[in-house]
Structure 1
Amino acid sequence: MLFMDIMTWDKKDDMELGKRYEEWKYPKGYNVIAEWSDLSSCRVFVVYELENAEAYMAATCPWRDIIKCETIPVMETQKAMEFFAKLV
């Protein structure tokens, strides 16, 4: 299943976030499909597939002190439309 995280932080944490990100490696089981930075604010978007809940925890827990993470289950729009068509 695919998920999208919207991660936001306070501008005062920019330097700390940058320092940590230089060393960051996503954990096994957290398979990143795409990652984008919002150039107008302190926000990043990550689309990924998870192998298990432990991978999610390993990816998000180290950032809890400086990042707010909103996790959203997502599906490609065409696939979602096909799925909804079968329901009606």
Structure 2
Amino acid sequence: MLFMDIMTWDPKDDIELSKRYMGWEYPKGYNVIAEWSDLSSCRVFVVYELENEEAYIAATFPWRDIMKCETIPVMETQKAVEIASKMMCECQ
């Protein structure tokens, strides 16, 4: 399943965040599909698949003191529509 994290931080932490990120590697089992920076504010978006819960904790725990992480399960719209249509047909 796919997830998207929206990670935000306070502008005062820009330098510390940059230092940490330069040496950062995502843990095994946390498979990044795409990563974008919001150029207008202090946040980043990461879309990924997880192999296990440990990978999620390993990826988010080191940042808890400096960033807020909001995790959202996501799905491609076409796939979601197909699944919803199938479910609606089964309910009738």
Give the TM bin, normalised by the shorter chain: over 0.9
Cross-structure match for 1:59: 59
CA–CA separation in structure 2 for the residues paired with 1:59 and 1:17:
14
User: With structure 2 as the length reference, what TM-score do the two structures score?
Assistant: 0.95
After the TM superposition, which parts of structure 1 deviate over 2 Å for at least 4 consecutive aligned residues? Answer: none
Partner-residue secondary structure (3-state), 1:4:
strand
**Runs of 5+ consecutive residues of structure 1 not aligned to the other structure:** none
Deviations 1:21-75 (Å, cap 9, x if unpaired)? 0000000000000000000000000000000000000000000000000000000
CA–CA separation in structure 1 for the residues paired with 2:16 and 2:61:
16
Partner-residue secondary structure (3-state), 1:81:
helix
Partner-residue secondary structure (3-state), 1:85:
helix
Identity rate of aligned residues, in percent? Answer: 82
Partner-residue secondary structure (3-state), 1:27:
coil
Larger radius of gyration: 2
How many pairs align?
Answer: 88
Output the amino acid matched with 2:61. C
CA–CA separation in structure 2 for the residues paired with 1:76 and 1:24:
28
User: With structure 1 as the length reference, what TM-score do the two structures score?
Assistant: 1.00
Partner-residue secondary structure (3-state), 2:32:
strand
Partner-residue secondary structure (3-state), 1:80:
helix
Partner-residue secondary structure (3-state), 1:28:
coil
**RMSD of Structure 2 on Structure 1 (CA):** 0.2
